[in-house]
């Protein structure tokens, strides 16, 4: 990860192009080295430690570039997998949000409608019962007034006959029974009033539950809105990732085209270089053959000079001429050696390039 951090500030397209060019150069370099190993003559091709160090220095950045390309391919595959996972998560989130919102809304509406109906019905019953209680209280008060008047009449009419007393007692008993019945009805009404109070408390509890359900519904609605926002954000991220993937694929296609063009160009240049190398090898062999022939000529001339040493006094001019020719031949041999060394250096430099 630290290696990728060094390239975070660079643009992606030039970096990929540079990586592709480096990979192509590495493959061409290995191909050239293999072709040299297969086509070279069995000569003294032992290289020194300096050339091995140069090879290591050249191969190390190529391996790094290949490593970067592999990492980019792995990151592309990971991005594709991440896009698939995000699509699945979006589908599941859509389903869950739709189901939760539908179920909660339907249940809340039904409970609210039932609570409203029960509240209206209980309020109506409460109003009816309060009216009945008021009427009964008025009647009880009237009966109490009647009883008081009766007691007063009893005191005033103590001199009445027993029949009248019995009648009055009967009337009193009747009124007493009515009074007891009224008490019973009042107690029943009080019980009903207590029931009404309990029902009112139940209504309050229902109202509190309804408020709680509304709060939960609002919370669910807010969560649903948040989920929708996150879904839109995920969709935007998915679109951006798709765009980046398409851009990477386009850049990959461009890199493939450039690599193909470079491979074709390098194949042509490699063929030309091989032809030149073959010609140089042939010229070197030809020069070596000429050098061997000149050595033979020199040996023959030296033997001839040894044999004709007795005649050297008479042939001084001939010997001087031969020495001059020998010197010229040595100069030519030295020049040929220098040309061979120069050609060898050029071949080494060409192989390095």
| 139-159: pLDDT as tens digits | 667 766 766 776 676 666 665
- Please give the C-alpha separations between residue 145 and each of 142, 246, 347, in angstroms, as whole numbers: 5, 101, 143
Residue 159, both tokens: 């001199």
pLDDT digits (tens, 9 = 90+) for 311-347: 655 556 666 676 777 777 778 777 777 777 777 676 6
Quickly count: other Cβ atoms within 10 Å of residue 19's Cβ.
19
Q: Alpha carbon of 143 to those of 137, 190, 234: distances in Å? A: 10, 19, 81
281, 39 in Cβ contact below 8 A?
no
pLDDT band of residue 39 (cuts 50, 70, 90) is: very low
Angle subtended at Cα 315 by Cα 310 and Cα 321, rounded to the nearest 5 degrees: 125
Position 300 pLDDT exceeds 70: yes
83 sits in which H/E element: helix 49-156
Render pLDDT for 226-273 as a digit per residue (tens, 0 to 9): 877 877 787 787 788 778 778 877 877 887 787 777 777 767 766 776
C-alpha to C-alpha distance for 164 and 321, rounded to whole angstroms: 199
Q: How many CB atoms lie within 10 A of CB 122?
A: 16
Query: Tell me: the pLDDT tens digits for 172-218?
Result: 778 778 777 877 877 777 787 778 778 778 877 777 877 887 788 78
Distance of CA 306 to the CA centre of its chain: 93
pTM greater than 0.85 (yes/no): no
- Residue 120's pLDDT is what? 73
């Amino acid at each position: 990860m630290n290696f990728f951090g060094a390239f975070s500030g660079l643009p992606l397209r030039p970096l990929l192009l540079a990586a592709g060019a480096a990979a192509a150069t590495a493959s061409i370099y290995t191909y050239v080295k293999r072709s040299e190993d297969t086509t070279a003559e069995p000569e003294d091709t032992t290289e020194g430690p300096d050339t091995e160090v140069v090879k290591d220095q050249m191969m190390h950045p190529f391996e790094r570039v290949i490593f970067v390309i592999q990492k980019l391919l792995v990151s592309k595959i990971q991005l594709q997998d991440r896009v698939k996972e995000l699509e699945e998560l979006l589908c599941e989130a859509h389903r869950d949000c739709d189901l939760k919102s539908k179920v909660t809304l339907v249940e809340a509406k039904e409970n609210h409608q039932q609570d409203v109906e029960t509240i209206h019905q209980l309020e109506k019953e409460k109003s009816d019962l309060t009216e009945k209680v008021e009427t009964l209280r008025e009647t009880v008060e009237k009966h109490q007034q009647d009883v008081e008047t009766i007691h007063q009449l009893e005191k005033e009419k103590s001199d009445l006959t027993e029949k009248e007393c019995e009648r009055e007692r009967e009337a009193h008993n009747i009124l007493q029974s009515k009074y007891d019945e009224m008490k019973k009805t009042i107690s029943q009404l009080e019980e009903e009033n207590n029931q009404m109070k309990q029902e009112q408390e139940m209504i309050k509890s229902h109202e509190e539950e309804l408020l709680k359900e509304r709060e939960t519904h609002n919370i669910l609605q807010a969560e649903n809105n948040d989920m929708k926002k996150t879904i839109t954000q995920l969709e935007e991220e998915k679109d951006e990732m798709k765009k980046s993937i398409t851009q990477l694929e386009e850049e990959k296609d461009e890199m493939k085209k450039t690599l193909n063009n470079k491979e074709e160009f390098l194949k042509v240049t490699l063929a030309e270089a091989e032809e030149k190398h073959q010609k140089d090898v042939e010229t070197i062999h030809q020069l070596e053959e000429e050098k061997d022939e000149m050595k033979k000529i020199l040996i023959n001339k030296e033997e001839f000079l040894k044999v004709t040493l007795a005649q050297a006094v008479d042939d001084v001019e001939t010997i001087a001429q031969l020495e001059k020719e020998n010197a010229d031949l040595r100069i030519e041999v030295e020049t040929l050696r220098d040309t061979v060394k120069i050609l060898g250096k050029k071949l080494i430099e060409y192989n390095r390039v």
